[in-house]
Structure 1
Amino acid sequence: MIDEVMMLRHGRTQYNLEHRLQGQIDVPLDIVGQWQADQTGYALASHYYWAKVSRLAADPEAIAQPGAGAAERSDIRQWQEAPAAARRMVVYSSDLFRAQQTAHAFADLMGLDVTLDPRLRERSFGRWEGLTRAEIKAQDAEAYASWKRHTGGETRYGVESRAQVGERGARAVRDIIAAMDAASGDTPTTLMIVGHGSWITATIGTLLGLDPDGMNALGGMRNACWCRLKVRHTVNGRTIAEPLFELEEYNKAPAIADNADWENGPADLRGPHTPDWQPIVW
């Protein structure tokens, strides 16, 4: 039974650096984005090391064994009897490549499979995809101002509304939980979802019952940062029809982000043709 959901945003891309709306355009991580994904992967792998133990306990053939001349074999009971083996983790990712790269930066350390799901794709920005905010404003200042005010002017350009992306995301999360719960029964399970900033913010808002167009709801997500939700299947000891969600962490970064330039990465990764990242100016 899934009792925890992690949502992780992908690392930086060249479009992020240039402040272009990616939407569902398939763009890979840039060098700093791969560094961000790796640093977050290391941090989460340390925190969730139990997931590697659980995976090996379920597949003892994957436990490393010495050669025939060794004094003894690895005792697989140590993995199978460890308390960590009582939980499990599953990893889902948007099928867009930047999300896949970020998912594997964590999952490969743990030996976990990554399941791709197009329902986890970023918000579609329609005919605005690939454009900067300055280009959008020059094209249609009124629609741009409406988008900025959260009054929906962007939808005339085929942009998926915040409500639509939130409903799409929340439905996907609930469907995955229902399918996983049916398959795993009472085994406590953490669901890791790797996706995109606008999708994560809208989905969490919808799961919490917030107004998707509320200006004071949830702030934007930084690259390669995560959110954590507790999932409740009962209230006062009674099973409920659909799980409830409690937000426990939002926009959380690994500890290294406090001591490094997270948006630009370390200096030895930035070549002469790599500009510095700048905050978004509306």
Structure 2
Amino acid sequence: MIDEIVMLRHGRTRYNLEHRLQGQVDVPLDIVGQWQADMSGMELARCYYWAKASAMAADPGLVPKAGEGQRVVFQPEAREYAEAPASRRCMVVVSSDLFRARQTAHAFADLVHAPVLTDERLRERGFGRWEGMTRDEIRAMDAEAYDSWKHHTGGELAYGVEARERVGERGAAAVRDWLADPRFVDRPATLVLVSHGSWIVATIGTLLAADPDGATILGAMRNAFWCRLSVHRTLNGAPCEPRLELEEFNVGPAIADSCDWGNGPDYLRSEDMGVWRPVSR
């Protein structure tokens, strides 16, 4: 039974670097985004190493074996993994079907031998005719609609942009369906959802019964950062519908505190790459 949810945003893309609205355009990670995904993937794999042991308990074929013809002093036994407490939990990784999210999901899931499932309901907010445009381009096209969007008064809807409320609703529906999935009721489980910044904020707001627009007070998600929620299924000792509690928001790997996370290490940056800077609103 799922008792913990981690929501991980994808790493940087070229559109992120250029401050273009991606929406549901299928943009891959750039070189810095892959590095971000790998750094976060390794950090999460360290935190959730039990998931690798659990996978090896479920599939003894994953347990390393010494090569033929070598003198074997000790051969790891699948029994060790089956008897470990880690075998009593499972890891479920579900990604948006957009490539940048799947790349980020595999940066973590492959390290712990977890399959990556996909769910199109985890896609980013659709930005209609604004997809692929920079904020300056949108402002030049329709300053009034742009300002309305920034003030959360809905001016963007005239351009086919998906309403924040709708994003939160489809995100929350996906989460609730995964929480009820009968495949994951026989033992405790952690659900990792790999998605997109606007989707994560809107979905958390809806799940916590907040206005999706008001949920923006949480702030924006950084690339390849994550949130963690606990799932409670009892209230005053009696069973109840799953209740979620936000434990962490916008958390990243330790290396993000000691480097230029948005631009990555110098050894990955070409001279003509450009510099990522936070959006000025």
TM-score interval for Structure 1 and Structure 2 normalised by the shorter chain: over 0.9
Inter-partner Cα distance in structure 2 for 1:237 and 1:175 = 24
Preserved contact between residue 14 and residue 29 of structure 2 (Cα < 8 Å)? yes
Equivalences for 1:113-152 in 2 at 5 Å? 113-152=115-154
Superposed displacement of residue 188, structure 1: 0.5
- State the one-letter code of the partner of 1:109: L
Q: 1:250 is matched with which residue?
A: 249
- In the alignment, structure 1 residue 160 sits paired with structure 2 residue 162: yes
Report what 2:212 is aligned to.
212
**Cα distance in 2 between the residues matched to 1:41 and 1:130:** 28
Runs of 4+ in 1 over 3 A off after TM superposition: none
User: 2: distance between equivalents of 1:186 and 1:115?
Assistant: 19
Q: Give the Cα–Cα distance (whole angstroms) in 2 for the partners of residues 215 and 84 of structure 1.
A: 35
Q: Distance in 2 between matches of 1:184 and 1:198?
A: 27
Contact 1:210 1:217 in 2 (8 A): no
The question of whether the paired residues in 2 share the 8 Å contact of 1:4 and 1:190 is answered with: yes
Contact 2:201-2:215 at 8 Å conserved across structures? no
CA contact (8 A) 1:150 1:215 kept: no
Correspondence for 2:267: 268
In 2, Cα distance between equivalents of 1:73 and 1:222: 43
What CA deviation, in whole Å up to 9, does each residue of 1:55-92 have, x standing for no partner?
10011122112245524432222111111111110100
Residue identity in the other structure for 1:155:
L
Distance 1:129 1:108 in 2: 31
Shift of 1:185: 2.4
Which blocks of at least 5 consecutive residues in structure 1 are unaligned?
none
Unpaired segments ≥5 residues, structure 2: none
The offset of 1:216, in angstroms, is 5.8
Residue deviations 1:152-206, cap 9 Å, x none? 1101111001100000100011011111xx2232401000000100000000010
Contact 1:211 1:217 in 2 (8 A): no
Separation (CA, whole Å) in 2 of partners of 1:215 and 1:64? 46
Normalised TM-score (structure 1): 0.96
Give the paired residue count: 279
**Distance of 2:67 and 2:13 partners within structure 1:** 44
Could you tell me how far apart the structure 1 residues matched to 2:77 and 2:113 are? Answer: 19
Map 1:169-208 onto structure 2 (within 5 A).
169-179=171-181, 182-208=182-208
- Counting only pairs closer than 5 Å after superposition, residues 230-241 of structure 1 correspond to structure 2 as 230-240=230-240
Alignment of structure 1 residues 215-226 onto 2, 5 Å: 217-226=217-226
Percent identity between the aligned chains? Answer: 63
Q: Distance in 1 between matches of 2:37 and 2:56?
A: 24
Query: TM-score with structure 2 length normalisation?
Result: 0.97
Aligned equivalents of 1:257, 1:134: Cα separation in 2? 29
Distance 1:23 1:46, change over 3 A: same
Q: Is the 8 A contact 1:90 1:191 kept in 2?
A: yes
CA contact under 8 A between 1:5 and 1:230: conserved in structure 2?
yes
Deviations 1:76-127 (A, max 9, x none): 2211111111111010000100001000000111111000111100000011
Correspondence for 2:2: 2
Is 1:93 equivalent to 2:95 in the alignment? yes
SS in 1 for 2:214: coil
Aligned-partner Cα distance in 2 for 1:30–1:104: 15
Deviations 1:204-230 (A, max 9, x none): 010011111227632110000000000
Q: 1:66: which partner in 2?
A: 66
CA distance in 1, matches of 2:151, 2:184: 44
Amino acid in structure 2 at the alignment position of 1:102: T
SS at structure 2 position matched to 1:66: coil
